[in-house]
Amino acid sequence: MFIIKYLLICFIVPELLGVLVSGVTKHWERPFFCYISGLLTMLAMAYVLYLPLGLTGRSFHRYVQVCLLAYGLWILVGLLLYHRAYGAYLRRMAAGILQFVKEHPEVVAFFLLLVVQIVRVIRYTQIHYSDDDTYISLVGDILHSDGFYGIDYVTGRPLSAGGYVDPKFRYTGWFAFQALLCRVVGVHPLILVKTLLPVVFILTHYMVIVDLYGCLEQKATHGLAFFLLFYGLLLEFGWSVLTTSWSYYFLTWIWYGKSFLQFIILPLVLSQFLRMEWKNFWDYLWVLVILIAGVGASTMAVILLPAEGAILFVTLGILHFWKKGRVAHA
């Protein structure tokens, strides 16, 4: 039952949540988009529902009930409207993956590297960090107190009326989302973040990278297998500075909200903007979902996401006027 609940809430529910997003945005051709969009929709919905419930003192069990009900309704609407398109998407994805592996057997090397990374993270990651005293305790307090941020995570005592909780904890939905997963799966927060979430987030990151590669290479897949292997090796051996390196956060602290922002949200924003159909209203709503999910994962998104968007638009604007000037000159 533990395995079934884990697969259900971490893989099947996100996949089905993405049916409605894929249907309205008409991005069925994007690889793994259904799961990626569903996972971000799941987080965005959890954050939007946390704000009115968590900040007004509602109970955690009520939050879980409302979230699960919202997920169920979203999935039901998506399957009713787009079940045929989703069936065709699944058949096309399965055939495409099998054909890709058949034509590019070198991708097996990447799969082996992926297995090594996942096994090492969930088997050999250090059990305790100094930050775990805060982050794991916050999730545990939500579960055991049936409320949000009413316990001092240093002393374990209830906060008085004048108690203080760091706003970066209170105004992010990341710990409430983790507590939701713990309640559904039935595991301790330490088990969730050290063994279960790394599998989900590592796989999702590579899905986002495949999506970004397809955008940059205009659907050319002949170099994808070598690219994934090379990219995985960069992550494997990119340990420049122990506590701040790219690889360290991917292969050790992937369950952090800022790691989720770094490895899933930011590359997905780039991929989406490069694929953007600026006359499609639903694309704008999908970007809004990405932004909400990013802020829900980490308050750092309040600065990083607008900065990434601004840099990208400035770059595209310079490129547009540069091309326009060249054409006029010719």
Instruction: List, in sequence order, the alpha helices (H) in 104-196.
Output: 107-124, 132-145, 167-170, 174-185, 189-191
Question: To 10 degrees, the CA torsion angle through 197, 299, 169, 252?
Answer: 30
The closest alpha carbon to 9, from 186, 252, 255, 206, belongs to 186
Going by C-alpha positions, the residue among 157, 138, 160 that lies closest to residue 149 is 138
Say what the pLDDT of residue 330 is.
44
pTM, 2 dp: 0.89
Q: Which of 44-48, 78-82, 91-95, 163-167 is predicted least confidently?
A: 163-167
The per-residue pLDDT for 222 is: 76
Residue entry with tokens 């159909």: 277
Regarding predicted confidence, which is higher, 321 or 94?
Answer: 94
Please return the burial class of 187, using the count of CB atoms within 10 Å of its CB with bins 0-12, 13-18 and 19+.
middle
Q: What is the pLDDT of residues 55-65, one digit of tens each?
A: 888 899 999 99
pLDDT given for residue 325 in this prediction: 61
β-partners of residue 158 are 151
Range of lowest pLDDT (33-37, 158-162, 234-238, 244-248): 158-162
Q: What is the four-CA torsion angle of 260, 251, 208, 176, rounded to 10 degrees?
A: -30
